[in-house]
Structure 1
């Protein structure tokens, strides 16, 4: 068992994809770097924190991108986002079996706020274009930094999300919520709270991810292969179904103080047996609890 969370971006690509098959586009030797960070006196990376390229997965050609959480938390800047968009646009031309996004990001870099926001919006549009062309987009989430901000939205634009129990997915990160609304609203230092409300188990039980796996590269690989032929239709009916799920969740949470934290209350309202025990259960047991 090899921990997915402890691997770097390129280690994940090497272990997840068919051995020796990954061919990187714009590798560090090309030195395609952010034009903004150096002007601000911030250290840059020769790949701007993301590796992109083509490879084989289960004997089928895929395009893949992996964000490097060790560089600025996987934050999206102008070049970082452009590399993702370029990968997706090339997929429209070359039509691989799928596009894999190994997401690990705190969202847009504050150093490149406007450029990063524009880049994320372009990534979202490109993801939807690829899906509309009938090419599945699969997002894998299991890095130490989670998948937050704009990349959290990108993930939910995809066909299929695979998460580990240690992965996290949300729009606003815990520190952002605390900074905006205070520690009484959300204590970012409360690790149990953070994982109850953004972690893989929670996202599985609420229907926000399509596969829950252990923190193991082999399980991520198997789940990615299984998702290659599971494209979700990009239709009005599918969107309405998603809205129905969100409405159900909104109305499921009891009003007022019903005792217990909100995540546990929501799980209980969704019919999860023994909801208070979910954080301590193994992944296999949590997979069996899903009611949606």
Structure 2
């Protein structure tokens, strides 16, 4: 099977629909709630804010290397991929449909800063419903893979959603965290975190850092073909089982140890040095394979 052509090789720069075109087998995508059947957010209309026909998220089904999968692709170019009532309802509806139809996996192309503040409580409720639905799908034996590499990253509630997925595939350009850099700066001041320091932002939230910390399962290139290859391999090998209580307790202990080990460190460079990397300043310039080899040495 071959993927559909994509006009730009960069996953980071591509639109949600272009990412889907480069990810799925050619001609296999079927959109649920296409433009004629969807509607923009009524909340934005009341505020005289232009909406989007798909409310910033595309949901549907297709094939990945011949296997049937469901897909969710957030559009970061519309309101930063923020989740509102309709946006969230489309995601939850897709996940519930997955429980009924049992695809091989759900691929969640996350590109979002979190909740759409214009919709306040409606957006917060939507995030909580997405969290529950992701866990229900996983408990139903269907893996949910988060693909993170868009221009808005995975922040706020969507950062939590990503960590609830079966596995996260990230590019170096992807970012993952609970609070976004601008939020941290606004609340704690620029002395705590300078959101204009792009190198710092990626050292703290970027794909390379998350990979070294074990927060994402695999680091891929900023290329639809790389995301496709990694996702196809995961789907082919995935066996989704609800985690046992003992496994969850062990994970909690490891997180507590991690907090203690890295307490007070404010920069990825400091964290990488603590991990045992002798020249942490070299990490941002390493190619993906070299970084993977470094991680294997650290874990040996």
TM-score over 0.5 (shorter chain): yes
Checking the alignment, whether the CA contact within 8 Å between 1:100 and 1:137 is kept in structure 2 is yes
| Residue in 1 that maps onto 2:10 | 3
Instruction: Write the distance in 2 (CA, Å) between the matches of 1:247 and 1:273.
Output: 25
Partner of 2:147: 140
The correspondence for 2:178, drawn from 166, 171, 181, is 171
How does the TM-score come out when normalised to structure 1?
A: 0.95
Q: 1:30 to 1:129 in 2, by over 3 A?
A: same
Contact 2:200 2:267 in 1 (8 A): no
Give yes or no for contact 1:153–1:171 (8 Å, CA) kept in 2: yes
Distance 1:254 1:34 in 2: 42
SS in 2 for 1:203: helix
CA contact 1:273–1:289 (8 Å) conserved in 2: no
Gaps of 5+ in 1: none
After TM superposition, list the pairs within 5 Å mapping 1:48-197 onto structure 2: 48-197=55-204
> CA separation in 1, counterparts of 2:64 and 2:38?
27
For residues 240-255 of structure 1, the aligned pairs below 5 Å read 240-253=249-262
1:229-271, Cα deviation, whole Å (9 max, x unpaired): 3345422233223223322321222658xxxx53122122222
For each residue in 1:195-250, what CA deviation from the matched residue of structure 2 results, as whole angstroms up to 9, or x when unmatched?
00000000000000001011011000011011113345422233223223322321
Whether the 8 Å contact between 1:254 and 1:265 is mirrored in structure 2 is: no
Q: For residue 292 of structure 2, what is the aligned residue in structure 1? A: 287
Q: Paired residue for 1:44?
A: 51
Query: Quick check: 2:142–2:240 contact (8 Å CA) kept in 1?
Result: no
Cα distance 1:106–1:254, how it changes in 2: closer, same or farther (>3 A)?
closer
Q: 1:230 aligns with which of 225, 229, 238?
A: 238
Structure 2, unaligned runs of 5 or more: 1-7
Equivalent position SS for 2:294: coil
Tell me the residue number matched to 1:268: 273
Q: Secondary structure at the match of 1:119?
A: helix
For the Cα contact (< 8 Å) 1:159–1:231, is it kept in 2?
no
Structure 1 consecutive aligned stretches of length 4 or more whose deviation exceeds 4 Å: none
Contact 1:160 1:231 in 2 (8 A): no
Helix, strand or coil: the match of 1:30? coil
Aligned residues: 288
CA positional deviation for 1:104: 0.1
TM, length-normalised to structure 2: 0.92
The answer as to whether partners of 2:62 and 2:68 remain within 8 angstroms in 1 is: yes
SS of 2:106's equivalent in the other structure is: strand
Secondary structure of the equivalent of 1:212? strand
Give the drift of 1:179.
0.4
- For the aligned residue pairs, the C-alpha RMSD in angstroms reads 1.5
- Deviation of 1:122 after TM superposition, in Å, equals 0.3
Q: Which of 36, 47, 51 matches 1:29?
A: 36
CA distance in 2, matches of 1:109, 1:255: 31
Q: Deviations over 1:175-198 (max 9, x none)?
A: 000000000000000000000000
